[in-house]
Chains A and B, each alone.
Chain A
Amino acid sequence: MIEAIFTYDFLRQAFISGILIGLMAPLLGVFIVVRRLSLIADALSHVTLAGIAGSLFLSQSVPALALLNPLYLGMASAVAGSTLIEKLRTLYKHYQELAIPIIMSGGLGLAALFISLADGFRTDLFSYLFGSVSAVSYQDMWIVIGVTVIVLVFLIGFFKELFVLSFDEEYAHASGLPAKWIHFLFMVVTALVIAASMRIVGILLVSSLMTLPVAAAMRLAKSFKGAILWSLLFGQTSVLFGLVSAFYLDLAPGATIVLTSILILLIVIAIMGRKGRRV
């Protein structure tokens, strides 16, 4: 395997991207889970799919755009989706969760429209839905690296503020923290991570890489630092084990990565039993 990584460019690109995604998805995921935004992440992934399908359709019908990387439109629509969700959440103050089905079905509807307009996209679409070991291009890898830098700068720069905001929103406002801005940036960064993770995990399973390692970590951790470290360990293990097994068994990595993290979660639940933290 190690040898193959050095031999094949596509494998090296997949592994570098995978390791970075296994770093940033669970890291951001800790905040997503404690802020109860897991379903929003899921809705955003469906909006990203609309962007991807739209981009693939454009490439097919406009020759000049044939080489357009679908990640760009995917990212743009995820960011647009995240701002739309916030708008809807302020519009439906007392039914904030309504924003999720609205955005989710809107995203899926648009995606279905582009897919049927283009008369299906053959295998391309499958790799976007469930990930792929072989489809990560050199350019994709650099997009993932760029997004990782943005995520790390954001999380390290605003760590204290994100902690306060996640733990006690009213206290954050009373402390004079720019809570609105930080939340907005948080949603944008989440959208970027979702779009960037899609190449490896697939759009339908992206949000599980943000939530499953955290779900396992929360059973074990007594501190916030602990929750972060366990999430990183579980996320990274899932990605690496999932990628290797996907390569050898010729499976979609989305499937193997998510099933690995489910397995880790089950093991943690079994070991901790009733001793685990109630959350």
Chain B
Amino acid sequence: MEKYIEMNHVSFYYDKTEALQDVSLTVNEGDFLAIIGPNGSGKSTLMKIILGLLKPMKGDVRLFGKPVEEFRDRACIGYVSQKSNSFNSGFPATVYEVVRSGLAKKTGLFAKYPSDASDQVKEALISVGMQAYSDRPISALSGGQQQRVFIARALISKPKILLLDEPTVGIDQQNMQSFYRMLTHLNKHHGITIILITHDVDAVSKSISHVACLNRTIHFHGYQKEMESLSDEQLEAWYGHPVRRVKHEGGHVHD
């Protein structure tokens, strides 16, 4: 099994705020890792460091065995950022145009989109259940639908790994269920490795293989099943305040 992502003793500061301290993490081919943690615990920062958008002050990051700064094959990685702070809302573009733009990193400067781009867009839209919306303006879609389109944009370059930063914020309960079913399908049947930042541990617990609990530093990282073996003290130390724990058959953790 190939090591897709390796972080070794990574620390990161914004000016004076320490966002991450001595974080080490490994993600292997086929994993479905959920990263959970309170607001401001450094989850988005961690993802941006994996992507090379931020440079760690200490430690090193390797993607597919290569140091992140030397990694060029960007089509291998699909990224959907935390919605609120990214895309230009009101932008005049159709769903089709947005999804097709995911091929840009694969196509190279001065080259045209491939001639079968429209088939690829269709396929990507089908895999997120949005094929009926191809000609709609992106700004006319609901938050949850936009999120699916962004996943299609990430999928179109046939990535080996998908990084999703709180993709279900603003999506209602029902759509969330089908959204996670879709992720499970991508992971199980298309072999796509997934890193998911989320607050709904409950909803995903059946799909994920690994969990990492983050609060500036990693408090737990291992198989989803092992998480129930955490002691109350460990959980408290992680969340920074007393944690109410509810056990179901699956053994989930509530805060």
Interface residues of chain A, those whose CB is within 8 Å of chain B, are: 34-35, 157-158, 160-161, 163-164, 166-171, 173-177, 217-218, 221-227, 277-279
Tell which of B51, B97, B107, B139 touches A277, judged by Cβ atoms closer than 8 Å: B139
Residues of A within 8 A of B14 (CB): none
How many residue-residue contacts, CB under 8 A, span A and B?
A: 91
Q: Is A279 a contact of B94 with CB atoms below 8 Å?
A: no
Contact B88 A224 (CB under 8 A): no
Q: Which range holds the interface residue count of chain B? A: 20 to 34
State the main secondary structure of chain A at its contact with B: helix
Q: Is the CB of B81 within 8 A of A171?
A: yes
Using a CB–CB cutoff of 8 Å, the interface residues on chain B facing chain A are 51-53, 72, 74, 77, 79, 81, 85-88, 90-94, 96-98, 101, 103-105, 107, 109-110, 113, 135-137, 139, 153
- Residues in B with CB closer than 8 Å to A169 are 86
Decide if A163 touches B90 in the complex (CB within 8 Å): no
User: Which residue of A34, A175, A224, A225 is within 8 Å of B105 (Cβ)?
Assistant: A175
Q: Are B105 and A177 in contact (CB under 8 A)?
A: yes
Query: Most chain-A CB neighbours within 10 Å: which of B51, B91, B110, B135?
Result: B91
10 extra interchain contacts, Cβ-Cβ under 8 A, other than A160-B107, A170-B53, A174-B74? A34-B88, A166-B91, A168-B88, A169-B86, A176-B72, A177-B104, A223-B92, A224-B97, A277-B137, A278-B139
Q: Which 10 A-B pairs have the closest CB atoms?
A: A176-B74, A175-B105, A160-B104, A168-B87, A227-B92, A224-B93, A223-B94, A279-B90, A157-B110, A174-B79
Q: Which residues of A contact B74 (CB under 8 A)?
A: 174-176
Contacts of A173 in B (CB 8 A): 53
How far does the alpha carbon of A218 sit from the alpha carbon of B91 in the complex, in Å? 9
A175 contacts B104, C-beta separation under 8 Å? yes
By a CB distance below 8 angstroms, the chain A residues around B153 are 171
B44 to chain A, nearest CB (A): 11
A156, closest chain B residue (CB): B110
Nearest residue (CB) in B for A217 is B92
* B104 near A223: Cβ-Cβ < 8 Å: no
In the complex, A277→B94 CA distance in Å? Answer: 13
- Residues of A contacting B107 with CB < 8 Å? 160
Q: Which residues of B contact A34 (CB under 8 A)?
A: 88, 91-92
Which residues does chain B contribute within 8 Å of A176, judged by CB atoms?
Answer: 52, 72, 74, 105
> Once the chains are docked, how many angstroms separate the CA of A169 from the CA of B88?
8
Shortest Cβ distance from A33 into B: residue = B92
Q: Are A167's CB and B109's CB within 8 A?
A: no
**CA gap between A166 and B137 in the complex, in Å:** 16
Residues of A within 8 A of B77 (CB): 174
Q: Which residue of B lies closest to A162 (CB)?
A: B104
Contact assessment for B53 and A224 in the assembled complex, using a CB-CB cutoff below 8 Å: no
Which of A161, A227, A278 has a CB less than 8 Å from the CB of B109?
A: A161
Determine how close the nearest CB of chain B comes to the CB of A49; give it in whole angstroms: 31
Structural contact, B97 and A223, CB atoms closer than 8 A: yes
Q: Of A218, A223, A227, which is in contact with the most chain B CB atoms at under 10 Å from its CB?
A: A223
Set of chain B residues within 8 Å of A171, measured between Cβ atoms: 79, 81, 86-87, 153
